Amino acid sequence: MTNSLERIFDGVIEALQSSVIPAIRDESARSQAYGALDMLRNLKPRVEWALGPLQDDVSQQLALIARIAALTDRVAPAPPPGPADVALPPRPTAAEVEPMRDRLDAYLCEVLRWADDNRSRLPAGRAEEIEAAIRDQQRARLKREVKLTAPPLFGEISRGQ
């Protein structure tokens, strides 16, 4: 998901309160909408992003970073230094793992820029090998995300019907 969970909850609650409910003319439908609003307000403090997929992401990123280190061992110019402090607490929350995943992604972006800038100075094919490794890991994650994503309702969203 691209937006934060908190903002999504707040946005849906606000849309129900300020745009949807006042426009519902049918009392029974309006009471259902109030029910949904009540549920959302109570769900908000009780839920967080699923921890499992986030932890999977981080462990795959760490494995990838170890592979990049092997691929760039003793090459000149040296790659960007690996990220420090990549240890997670023993029982992390999603709120702790998510920024770690983003920090590791930021490092992967740095490596991609470095590989591109130094393509001709690295051993033949090395930059491409690094890029392919990063793309493989990212593609696997994107596939997981897409699998969880319902088909878009762009037509309905555009038409409002």
Partner 1 sequence: MLDGETVARNLTEFLRRRTESPVTVSGLRRYTVGFSWITYGFEAEWRDSTGPRREKLILRLGPPTGLFAPYRAFPQFASLKALEGSGVPVPRVYWYGEDVETFGAPFFICEKVEGDAPLPWVSEGQEAFPPATREPLAEQFVAALAAIHRFEWRGTPLEALGPGVDESSAASREIAFWEELLDRWAFRPYPMLEWAISWLKAHRPVAPRVSLVHGDYRTGNFLERDGRITAILDWELVHLGDPIEDLGWVCMRSFRGRSPYMCHLIERPRLYERYEALSGVPVDPAAVRFYEAFGTFKLAVIHVGAARCFEDGRFRDLRMAALGVHLPRLIMQVEGTIEGKT
CA distance 57 to 78: 26
What is residue 88's DSSP assignment? P
When asked if residue 2 is in the footprint of partner 1 (CB under 8 A), the reply is yes
When asked if residue 121 is in the footprint of partner 1 (CB under 8 A), the reply is no
Give me the helices (H) in the chain, please: 5-15, 21-23, 27-43, 51-71, 94-117, 126-148, 154-159
> Of the listed pieces 4-12, 26-34, 47-55, 77-85, which binds partner 1 according to CB under 8 A?
4-12
Closest contact distance (angstroms) between CB of 11 and partner 1 is 6
Contact call for residues 112 and 131 (beta carbons, < 8 A) = yes
Contact footprint for partner 1 (CB under 8 A): 1-4, 7-8, 11-12, 14-15, 102, 105-106, 108-109, 112-113, 116, 131, 134-135, 138-139, 142-143, 145-146, 149, 151-155, 157-160
